[in-house]
Structure 1
Amino acid sequence: MSLIPKEIVDQVIAQADITEVVGDFVSLKKKGQNMWACCPFHHEKSPSFSVSPAKGIYKCFGCGKAGNAVQFIMDVEGTGFPEAIKYLAKKYGIEIPEEQHDPEYAREQSERDSLFIVSDFAAKHFQQRLIAHEQGSIGQSYLKQRGLSAGTIKRFELGYSLDEWTDLTDTALKAGYKQQYLEASGLTIVKEDGKKYDRFRGRVMFPIHNVSGRVVGFGARTLKSNDKKSPKYLNSPESDIYHKSHVLYGLFQAKQAMRMQDMCYMVEGYLDVLSLHQGGIENVVASSGTSLTEGQIKLISRYTQNITVLYDGDAAGIKASLRGIDLILELGLNVSVVTFPAGEDPDSYIQKVGDTAFKAYLQEHAQDFISFKTSLYAKEAAGNPVKKAEAIKEVVASISKIPDAIKRTVFFRSCSLIFDIDEQVLISEYNKMHLQGRQQQQRSSGPEPDFAPPMPEEEPEKPASDADVLKRYEREIVRMLLNYPNRMLDDGLTTSQYMLEQLEDIEFRTPLYVHLLNLIKEKLKEGALPTSEDFVNYPDQRIREEASGLLLEKYEISKGWETHHIFVPHETDQLPYGSERAVLRLKWRNVELMIKEEVEKLRLVTDPQEQIHQMTFIRNLSTLYKQLGDMLGIVVNR
């Protein structure tokens, strides 16, 4: 049960702009009246995710996800309704009354929501310890030494964990948070004998946010130079809300700049992100020392298709990480590389040369990844034919990852010039690798039989069931009632008046559309017209999703037709005809089903008089069925 007052919920829903909310997670592009993007809920290359600013809803025509701004946050975050409202309230500066923040609230939420709540509490606790506790001066001194300003510390919510065994745990339990969530989030470690202690002690804390800005985990750096047993950096363990392979440090703070500048700078550590961000390079993220994963690359691709990797000056480290970049190429993104002088990393170099010189250095030294890798391997293989052959194979392996054929061709040409080798040789090597890859894939799927078994006969496609067909016709009725309830038809009736009058004796059979139709009827009985807001903000998620899907159109008429003076009528131009056809189709299908049902009943009837009565009824239904078919222009009734 939500503790948020209804008037606050209504205010949040009214103020939330669907374009702004969705735009925080994906890069939207206008096409026609709506905005489009690749869906954040499933992998796709062609955009099928549509957002309607006018109606305040979204719909993916690929996976079916649909709803309003609140539903989007619930879907993208995997959280409940109250937490989605709190997220949007924070975004739009809507204050939720203080008395609603009950510590017992966590108990009423799902496991996932409770982990978010506990993590948020921990982040605020560490911030408070950094600012207000006497031990916090240790953390402040370190951060000041690293050149970080108070503004950067605040924006990234940096904190400090006291060098005490149970400071966070004791404070959280006293505040009413449950131990099971402290343990599940990795903040508290519980030993077999029941003793518990804080995971993070005496460390500067770097909260790790997801794309919506919620704290999901922590990175922590020790400040004890003489402690050889503890690792320098310690991270939160994996949990229901924290998966290292799907999180990038700094992405929440960087995403708007990434979209605006159409570029993402990739670094290795927390301090690299903080220093660059403070220096005005806000489109920067870090993989936090882990190998780059497909999930992380897909996160970046929501905002830009261009990544520039900033490498430390260590040549050995560069070579070790090159293979990870092949994955970026494989997913179709453009990759560039910048290296720094020996002994320098992004953090140290921007501190050394300053913001302006650093930005100029990035511009001057960025080169595409394939050219960088080719030059690197060519330099190492100079004068050694064996090494040169190996280097060529390495580079061709990277080029082979690029899905775009034109890009591959360009890189083969560039590579041939650097290695001074015929371009066709490189293409032949690529073809060889490609063939070997296919053969390996076939072998991994199982051994080939010694003989070719007879091909099974292709099964005919199963026809749609009666229920599926009826559902389609009922859906069309509800769609028209939702989109055009007050449009006037030729006979002076509105669409809703005409359709409901014509269908007065027809009972819907699909439960979801029965529910929607009843809601429409209730609104009309109250003397009000059903609006999109009534349904996309409805408490039942099934109603919200279905209504959103019915209110959004997958295709729009191109403006190009008007340019060429070609008139293409819109549905609204033929609404009387469309309304009549939709009603007739549903009636026709219902009569068809009634005939089938009555024929089944006839088989069970034994009394002759009853049989005659039943057959007469079926004959009358058949006559009506044919009349409706004639009105629809259906020559062969099925």
Structure 2
Amino acid sequence: MARIPKELVDQIIHHADIVEVVGDFVSLKRKGQNMWACCPFHHEKSPSFSVAPAKGLYKCFGCGKAGGVVQFIMDIEGTSYVEALKYLAKKYGIEVQEEEKTPEQQLAQNEKDSQFIVSNWAKDRYHQLLQKNEEGQSIGWSYLRQRGLNQTTIATFELGYSLDQWDDLLKAATAAGFELKYLEKTGLVVRREDDNGQDTGRRYDRFRGRVMFPIHNISGRVIGFGARTLKPHDKTAKYLNSPESEIYHKSDVLYGLYQARQAIRTEEQCYLVEGYLDVLSLHQGGIKNVVASSGTSLTDGQIRLIKRYTDNVTVLYDGDAAGIRASLRGIDMLLEGGLNVRVVLFPDGDDPDSYIRKVGDQKFKEHLEQASHDFIQFKTDLVSREAAQDPVKKAEAIREVLQSIAKVPDPIKRQVFLQQTSQTFGIDEQVLITEYNKIARQTAKSPASLPGLDVQKPRSSSTPARANNQQPATNNQLSPEEEAEALMYGASPEDLMGGGGDLQTLTREDLEPIPDVQEQCEREIIRLLLLYSAQPLAPDVSVAQYIFGQLDETPFKTGVYGDLLHLCREELTQGRWPEIRILIQHSRSDIRALVAELATERYELSPNWTTHQIHVPRELDLLQIACDNAILRLNKVNVERALAEHMDALRHPMDEATLDGHLQTIRALKQMDNQLAGMLGTVLSRGA
């Protein structure tokens, strides 16, 4: 990927006014300190989309989209980080000079650029031939109008026509000054070979006498073509596509996505069809959030493309049972990609294109609503009907459904699907869970990645008997082995120190921090740094200086929080405060998302409180307490984690000196844990 020098990135971000940029797409109205509008990313009647000029960020409290000015362009235009920066640079008249490439990199880029240029030229020529050439009008244009397509749709998708001649495009391209090698690399021109595979030196057009469907990448650049023959007795394939090239990889392309991306994002739904004409007819009928796999099997690359814009996909099938069966594997891949999948069937003999032309736009939309089924339920019904009363087929049908459920990454969804399958087939749910776990183990790449469903067993409350060779201790003194055993099964270290008091019942779960606690503590410290880094706590001591002074070298366990802490520390080292409006433009998407999430607040304190002389404490007034609590809680979690690790160590064989060392550390950690709890005011009273 091309790189833009950091100094230029900083210049672009400095000039880009988020209110001005967002205002190009929505109508903003001021309310309090922020600007508000209806969200451009989803349908809503009441504005929940907020822009905070002071922080340089936006946030929709409906759909959750958030970020800075660069992220907004990425979201609204569906572009990459670099492309969004170029968009802003162009808007503000800043010349972008990318970092110097190596000769090899520059050559590769030139090769790709040349292929993009010749593909775009070919698209324009085909489009012109369709509209102005006699053959194009009488054959190509007539066919498209016969299929019900209007001028707007033809122009939106830049449809065209290739003349029924061997070398029309070749001659026109040569006359326009294009090199032959780029015509060949893009597949527009084919070299003729003899029977031995030797180049004869002759060239001819790949596409002849066909309606042309340009294929765009997500940025709108033409990367290839699909072409339909109009000759009634043509022995070649009905549809012919561009071959793979440096700019066209069919496994990473969805036809119509460039035109549909904004509608998919707004509707939070993607309709997936098979052919070009399905896309065109539905788009013309007002269903603009539609894309096609162009007759190829679904790929991981195509699924990732859909997921960039939505988690919801509805697959539109014709009523052909064989076709449905062949497509089930592709839908399993959609499930595995984390998408919510639904299915709509059409009557036998109809595909989406023919059905919308038969019943009209409104009836078609009603059918989409009424005939939409969750895929797992759809597959369950399909295979259960096929199995009928045959027990062997029924067992295989159940396994087929379980194999699809195993593709679903969300454990809650898996559980719901298992319950539904149990009801449909009349099979005990526990039997399905057992069989599901077998399938998951067989298909998983590694044990750690198994999406298994555990059957909970009751935990035993009994304490293991003392080993035969152990003697009871006297005078409240326990041997190291006895102390270790007691610690493992419930006693706290200080209770074993001879005070004669009752033992407090603790389990190992009590000593371990809740998995999310560490993350929440680190999150709170990052939030305080982002919002209040420059605020003074004492003369010459800011929040950022105080927090870093107290943390010293305390490591963060959560990757993105640790990285953001490092960025804040770097800013402070450079003599700058960690500013939201700068960090929100970071090149890493996870950092941008986190900064946006922590820095946005939906509600502001009404000035009426002050007007009526009612004092409402603000966090800004209590920063010292907030900082102290955040640091103490993180320290306590780290102590609890260390305590749990030493407790784990007691479960393994060791010599007496090592054991004694662990016990001493446990006593010290427990004492420290109690001190921190006292400072936080969280000491719990212990029962007698």
Q: What is the distance in 1 between the residues matched to 2:77 and 2:310? A: 25
2:227 paired residue number: 220
1:25–1:211 Cα contact (<8 Å) kept = no
1:340–1:346 Cα contact (<8 Å) kept = yes
Matches within 5 A, 1:2-401: 33=52, 34-35=57-58, 51-52=67-68, 56-58=69-71, 110-137=110-137, 138-191=139-192, 192-228=199-235, 230-401=236-407
Match of 1:414 among 417, 420, 424: 420
- Is 2:598 the counterpart of 1:556? yes
* CA shift in 2, pair 1:165/1:423, >3 Å: same
| CA-CA distance at 1:432 after TM superposition | 1.1
* CA shift in 2, pair 1:389/1:357, >3 Å: same
Structure 1 gap segments, 5+ residues each? 1-8, 38-46, 60-66, 95-105, 444-478, 492-512, 522-530, 538-543, 575-638
Matches within 5 A, 1:596-607: none
2:40–2:266 Cα contact (<8 Å) kept = no
Q: What is the distance in 2 between the residues matched to 1:330 and 1:291? A: 15
- Aligned-residue sequence identity (percent) comes to 52
| CA-CA distance at 1:436 after TM superposition | 2.3
1:118–1:181 Cα contact (<8 Å) kept = yes
2:77–2:262 Cα contact (<8 Å) kept = no
* CA shift in 2, pair 1:326/1:141, >3 Å: same
| CA-CA distance at 1:238 after TM superposition | 1.3
| Letter in structure 2 aligned against 1:113 | D
* CA shift in 2, pair 1:418/1:534, >3 Å: closer
2:584–2:596 Cα contact (<8 Å) kept = no
| Letter in structure 2 aligned against 1:215 | V
Larger mean Cα displacement after TM superposition, 25-34 or 252-261: 25-34
Q: How far does the alpha carbon of each residue in 1:392-430 deviate from its partner, in whole angstroms, 9 at most, with x for none?
A: 000011011111111111111111111121111111111
| CA-CA distance at 1:251 after TM superposition | 1.0
2:79–2:218 Cα contact (<8 Å) kept = no
Larger mean Cα displacement after TM superposition, 125-134 or 111-120: 111-120
Q: What is the distance in 1 between the residues matched to 2:427 and 2:265? A: 39
1:254–1:282 Cα contact (<8 Å) kept = yes
1:307–1:333 Cα contact (<8 Å) kept = yes
Q: How far does the alpha carbon of each residue in 1:3-29 deviate from its partner, in whole angstroms, 9 at most, with x for none?
A: xxxxxx99xx87997669999999999
- Is 2:409 the counterpart of 1:403? yes
| CA-CA distance at 1:306 after TM superposition | 0.9
Q: What is the distance in 1 between the residues matched to 2:211 and 2:127? A: 10
Q: What is the distance in 2 between the residues matched to 1:68 and 1:405? A: 31
| CA-CA distance at 1:345 after TM superposition | 0.6
| CA-CA distance at 1:278 after TM superposition | 0.9
Q: What is the distance in 2 between the residues matched to 1:107 and 1:201? A: 32
| Letter in structure 1 aligned against 2:186 | S
2:665 paired residue number: none
* CA shift in 2, pair 1:414/1:553, >3 Å: closer
| Letter in structure 2 aligned against 1:207 | P
Q: How far does the alpha carbon of each residue in 1:60-109 deviate from its partner, in whole angstroms, 9 at most, with x for none?
A: xxxxxxx99999957566x9x9xx56x997xx8x9xxxxxxxxxxx9996
2:78–2:261 Cα contact (<8 Å) kept = no
| CA-CA distance at 1:143 after TM superposition | 0.6
Q: What is the distance in 1 between the residues matched to 2:372 and 2:366? A: 10
Q: What is the distance in 2 between the residues matched to 1:417 and 1:545? A: 49
2:213–2:227 Cα contact (<8 Å) kept = yes
Q: How far does the alpha carbon of each residue in 1:531-586 deviate from its partner, in whole angstroms, 9 at most, with x for none?
A: 9999999xxxxxx969xx99x9577356499889664459xx99xxxxxxxxxxxx
2:455 paired residue number: none
Q: What is the distance in 1 between the residues matched to 2:371 and 2:300? A: 27
Larger mean Cα displacement after TM superposition, 335-344 or 251-260: 251-260
Q: What is the distance in 1 between the residues matched to 2:244 and 2:81? A: 21
Give the total of aligned pairs.
451
Q: What is the distance in 2 between the residues matched to 1:404 and 1:71? A: 29
Q: Secondary structure at the match of 2:134?
A: coil
Q: What is the distance in 2 between the residues matched to 1:553 and 1:110? A: 37
Q: How far does the alpha carbon of each residue in 1:323-381 deviate from its partner, in whole angstroms, 9 at most, with x for none?
A: 11011111211111111111111111111111111111111111100111000000010
| CA-CA distance at 1:240 after TM superposition | 1.9
* CA shift in 2, pair 1:158/1:557, >3 Å: closer
* CA shift in 2, pair 1:532/1:233, >3 Å: same
Q: How far does the alpha carbon of each residue in 1:443-477 deviate from its partner, in whole angstroms, 9 at most, with x for none?
A: 9xxxxxxxxxxxxxxxxxxxxxxxxxxxxxxxxxx
2:514 paired residue number: none
Q: Secondary structure at the match of 2:327?
A: helix
Q: What is the distance in 2 between the residues matched to 1:384 and 1:367? A: 25
| Letter in structure 2 aligned against 1:125 | R
TM-score of the superposition, structure 2-length normalised?
A: 0.56
| Letter in structure 2 aligned against 1:404 | D
Q: What is the distance in 1 between the residues matched to 2:365 and 2:297? A: 26
| Letter in structure 1 aligned against 2:276 | Y
Q: Secondary structure at the match of 1:367?
A: strand
Q: What is the distance in 1 between the residues matched to 2:361 and 2:89? A: 34
1:561–1:568 Cα contact (<8 Å) kept = no
* CA shift in 2, pair 1:259/1:50, >3 Å: closer
Q: How far does the alpha carbon of each residue in 1:114-172 deviate from its partner, in whole angstroms, 9 at most, with x for none?
A: 22211111111100010111110210111111111111111110000111122222222
| Letter in structure 1 aligned against 2:67 | V
- Give me the CA root mean square deviation: 5.0
* CA shift in 2, pair 1:22/1:389, >3 Å: farther
Q: What is the distance in 2 between the residues matched to 1:35 and 1:403? A: 30
TM-score of the superposition, structure 1-length normalised?
A: 0.60
| CA-CA distance at 1:177 after TM superposition | 2.3
* CA shift in 2, pair 1:221/1:358, >3 Å: same
Structure 2 gap segments, 5+ residues each? 1-10, 27-38, 94-105, 193-198, 449-528, 541-566, 606-614, 625-688
1:337–1:372 Cα contact (<8 Å) kept = yes
| Letter in structure 2 aligned against 1:196 | R
| Letter in structure 2 aligned against 1:163 | D
| CA-CA distance at 1:285 after TM superposition | 0.7
2:470 paired residue number: none
1:425 paired residue number: 431
* CA shift in 2, pair 1:383/1:267, >3 Å: same
Q: What is the distance in 2 between the residues matched to 1:263 and 1:412? A: 25
* CA shift in 2, pair 1:262/1:435, >3 Å: same
Q: What is the distance in 2 between the residues matched to 1:266 and 1:141? A: 27
* CA shift in 2, pair 1:20/1:176, >3 Å: farther
2:441–2:447 Cα contact (<8 Å) kept = no
